[in-house]
C-alpha cells in the first residue's frame, strides 16, 4: 500500500462527502506509491460561493450555467461538464474533450489520480479509463488497457491512410542543430537522427540544410527526421518529420502521409498521447523525462515512474521515444522502463569527444 496516502486530512470534495472520500482512499491505495500532490485540488459537486484556482466544478450541462461558468473560469476554477459518457474539462483557457465510459466511481477515481500528482486533464483521462471494481482485482490497479481509455473529441480528421511505419525500436536518437552535425553523427554509424533547426530563415539556407540532411541519411542508410519544418521536409523527400502537439492543427498531415513521410509527435502526458494516437503517427515521443535546458517545456518533468506507465500502455501499439534530459548516466534507467528509443541532445553536442560519446551511448542499448 502507498505510504503517501494522506487524504483524510484534506478537503477533497465540496460539499464534504464521506462515501466519496472512502471510495477515493480505496482506489488510491491500489494505484502505487506516487509522491503526494501539493496542488490544492477540490472537486465540487455543487458550486461553492467563492470558487478558487483549486476547484474543479462538475456540472451536467454547460449551456445551463453559461454566465456562472464564465465567472468560475475567470476566478481560476476549472469546470468539468460530464454527461452521457462524455466529459469536457474547461481550465486555464483550454478545453479538453473526452468520450468514453463514466463509471459510478469516476469522480472518486478522478480525486485519486489528482492525488497521484497528475494534471487535471490527464487525471480525467485516467478516471474515464477506470472501471468500477478495478481496485479489487489487483494490488496494482493503475489503468493499463488501452481499450478502456477514452478518445479525444474535437480533433481534425486524421489522414485517410496511417503514416508510414518506422522500426519498432529506433535506438539512439540524437537531436542535432545543423546539417554539419547530422552528417558527422550519421558518419559515426547512428541510424536515427533529427535536425532541430530553430529558425526557418533564411529560407534558402533552411532548404539547403534539409537537403544535406536527407542526402546524408540516404548515403549512410540512416533515418533522418526534420523538426517542425514540414513543408521543406516534404519538398526534400525527407524520411520523416517531428511535430509538436500544436502543429497537427496547421500542418498538411494528409500530404505528408501520402508522400510516405514518417511522422513523430511530441506528447507530455496521457491526454496528449491519446490525441497523438488519433493521427496514427510513426512514433510518439514521451517527455520530458528529466529537466532539460534545450527548450522551454509546457509541463514538469515526467520522471521514470510515469515513463514506465506510458510504455506499459503503448508498447506494441506504436514505437516510443523517451526524450528530455537524457544522458549516459541515466540512459540505463530509461531503457529499463522498456522504451526502445532515447533521444539525446547535449549528451552528444556538448561532449568533448562526440564519437566516443555516441559509442558509449550505443553500448547502453546492447547491455
Domain presence at residue 193: yes
Query: For residues 246 and 35, what is the distance between their CA atoms, to the nearest angstrom?
Result: 30
Query: For residues 62 and 82, what is the distance between their CA atoms, to the nearest angstrom?
Result: 9
* 307 in the same domain as 336: yes
Question: What pLDDT digit, counting tens, does each position of 167-198 carry?
Answer: 999 999 999 999 999 999 999 999 999 999 98
Residue 299 known to bind ligand: no
* 182 in the same domain as 120: no
Residue 228 known to bind ligand: yes
Query: For residues 87 and 139, what is the distance between their CA atoms, to the nearest angstrom?
Result: 28
Averaged pLDDT for residues 238-242:
98
pLDDT of residue 160: 96
pLDDT of residue 296: 67
Residue 32 known to bind ligand: no
Given 152, 182, 199, which residue is the final one in a domain?
A: 152
Domain presence at residue 160: no
CA–chain centroid gap for 314, Å, is 11
Residue 153 known to bind ligand: no
Given 118, 152, 186, which residue is the final one in a domain?
A: 152
* 191 in the same domain as 75: no
Residue 52 known to bind ligand: no
Question: What pLDDT digit, counting tens, does each position of 103-162 carry?
Answer: 999 999 999 999 999 999 999 999 999 999 999 987 789 999 999 999 999 999 999 999
- CB count in 10 Å sphere of residue 200: 13
pLDDT of residue 295: 67
Domain presence at residue 11: yes
Residue 144 known to bind ligand: no
Domain presence at residue 123: yes
Banded model confidence at residue 3, pLDDT cuts 50, 70, 90 = very low
pLDDT of residue 8: 61
Residue 293 known to bind ligand: yes
User: Dihedrals φ, ψ of 94, to 5°?
Assistant: -110, 155
Strand intervals (E) in the chain = 13-14, 42-44, 55-59, 78-83, 86-91, 94-99, 151-152, 171-176, 192-195, 223-227, 240-243, 262-267, 283-287, 320-323, 341-344
Domain presence at residue 254: yes
* 265 in the same domain as 176: yes
* 262 in the same domain as 335: yes
pTM: 0.95
Domain presence at residue 346: yes
Q: Is the pLDDT of residue 305 over 90?
A: yes
* 137 in the same domain as 257: no
Pairing label, strands 86-91, 78-83: antiparallel
Indicate the number of domains in the chain: 2
pLDDT of residue 35: 80
Query: For residues 4 and 115, what is the distance between their CA atoms, to the nearest angstrom?
Result: 9
Return the CATH number at 330. Answer: 3.20.20.70
Q: Is the pLDDT of residue 246 over 70?
A: yes
Residue 3 known to bind ligand: no
* 137 in the same domain as 233: no
* 65 in the same domain as 30: yes
Q: Comparing 248 with 64, which gets the higher pLDDT? A: 248
The CA-atom distances, in angstroms, between 128 and each of 55, 101, 140, 147, 234 are 19, 6, 17, 11, 38
Question: What pLDDT digit, counting tens, does each position of 149-160 carry?
Answer: 999 999 999 999
State the residue for C-alpha cell 477514452. Answer: 150
pLDDT of residue 236: 98
Residue 247 known to bind ligand: yes
Residue 48 contacts residue 54 (beta carbons within 8 Å): no
pLDDT of residue 138: 78
Angle (CA) 202 224 296, round 5°: 65
Query: For residues 334 and 289, what is the distance between their CA atoms, to the nearest angstrom?
Result: 9
Residue 151 known to bind ligand: no
Residues 6+ apart with CB under 8 A from 304: 289, 333, 334, 337
* 282 in the same domain as 189: yes
* 312 in the same domain as 274: yes
The whole domain housing 256 covers 171-364
Query: For residues 281 and 204, what is the distance between their CA atoms, to the nearest angstrom?
Result: 29
Residue 227 known to bind ligand: yes
Residue 266 known to bind ligand: yes
Rounded to the nearest integer, the mean pLDDT of the chain is 93
Residue 2 known to bind ligand: no
* 228 in the same domain as 127: no
Domain presence at residue 266: yes
Banded model confidence at residue 52, pLDDT cuts 50, 70, 90 = confident
Percent of the chain with pLDDT over 70: 96
Residue 196 known to bind ligand: yes
* 200 in the same domain as 55: no
Q: How does DSSP classify residue 149? A: S
Query: For residues 189 and 239, what is the distance between their CA atoms, to the nearest angstrom?
Result: 17
pLDDT of residue 119: 95
Residue 80 contacts residue 72 (beta carbons within 8 Å): no
Q: Is the pLDDT of residue 199 over 90?
A: no
pLDDT of residue 200: 80
Banded model confidence at residue 4, pLDDT cuts 50, 70, 90 = very low
Question: What pLDDT digit, counting tens, does each position of 9-48 carry?
Answer: 678 999 999 999 999 999 999 999 888 777 889 999 999 9
The CA-atom distances, in angstroms, between 60 and each of 69, 271, 310 are 12, 22, 31
pLDDT of residue 302: 92
Amino acid at each position: 500500500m502507498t505510504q503517501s496516502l494522506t487524504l483524510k486530512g484534506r478537503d477533497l470534495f465540496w460539499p464534504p462527502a464521506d462515501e466519496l472520500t472512502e471510495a477515493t482512499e480505496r482506489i488510491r491505495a491500489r494505484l502505487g506509491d506516487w509522491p503526494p500532490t501539493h496542488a490544492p485540488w477540490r472537486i465540487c459537486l455543487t458550486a461553492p460561493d467563492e470558487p478558487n484556482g483549486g476547484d474543479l466544478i462538475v456540472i451536467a450541462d454547460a449551456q445551463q450555467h453559461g454566465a456562472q461558468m464564465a465567472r468560475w473560469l475567470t476566478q481560476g476554477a476549472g469546470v468539468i461538464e460530464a454527461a452521457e459518457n462524455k466529459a469536457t474539462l474547461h481550465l486555464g483557457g483550454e478545453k479538453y474533450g473526452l468520450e468514453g465510459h463514466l463509471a459510478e466511481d469516476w469522480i472518486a477515481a478522478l480525486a485519486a489520480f489528482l492525488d497521484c500528482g497528475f494534471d487535471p486533464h490527464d487525471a480525467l483521462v485516467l478516471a474515464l479509463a477506470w472501471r468500477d471494481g478495478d481496485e479489487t482485482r489487483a494490488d496494482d490497479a493503475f489503468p493499463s488497457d488501452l481499450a478502456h481509455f477514452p478518445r479525444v473529441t474535437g480533433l481534425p480528421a486524421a489522414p485517410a491512410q496511417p503514416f508510414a511505419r518506422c522500426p519498432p525500436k529506433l535506438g539512439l536518437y540524437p537531436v542535432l542543430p545543423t546539417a554539419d552535425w547530422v552528417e558527422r553523427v550519421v558518419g559515426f554509424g547512428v541510424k536515427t537522427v533529427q535536425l532541430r533547426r530553430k529558425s526557418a530563415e533564411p529560407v534558402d539556407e533552411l532548404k539547403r540544410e534539409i537537403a544535406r540532411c536527407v542526402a546524408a541519411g540516404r548515403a549512410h542508410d540512416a533515418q533522418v527526421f526534420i523538426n517542425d519544418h514540414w513543408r521543406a521536409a516534404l519538398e526534400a523527400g525527407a524520411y520523416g518529420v517531428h511535430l509538436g502537439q500544436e502543429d497537427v492543427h496547421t500542418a498538411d498531415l494528409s500530404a505528408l502521409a501520402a508522400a510516405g513521410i514518417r511522422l513523430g509527435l511530441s506528447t507530455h502526458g496521457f491526454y496528449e498521447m491519446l490525441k497523438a494516437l488519433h493521427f496514427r503517427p510513426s512514433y510518439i515521443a514521451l517527455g520530458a523525462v528529466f529537466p532539460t535546458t534545450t527548450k522551454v517545456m509546457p509541463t514538469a518533468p515526467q520522471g521514470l515512474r510515469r515513463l514506465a506507465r506510458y510504455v506499459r500502455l503503448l508498447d506494441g501499439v506504436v514505437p516510443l521515444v523517451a526524450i528530455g534530459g537524457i544522458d549516459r548516466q541515466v540512459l540505463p534507467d530509461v531503457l529499463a522502463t522498456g522504451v526502445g528509443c532515447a533521444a539525446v541532445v547535449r549528451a552528444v553536442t556538448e561532449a568533448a569527444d562526440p564519437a566516443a560519446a555516441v559509442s558509449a551511448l550505443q553500448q547502453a542499448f546492447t547491455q
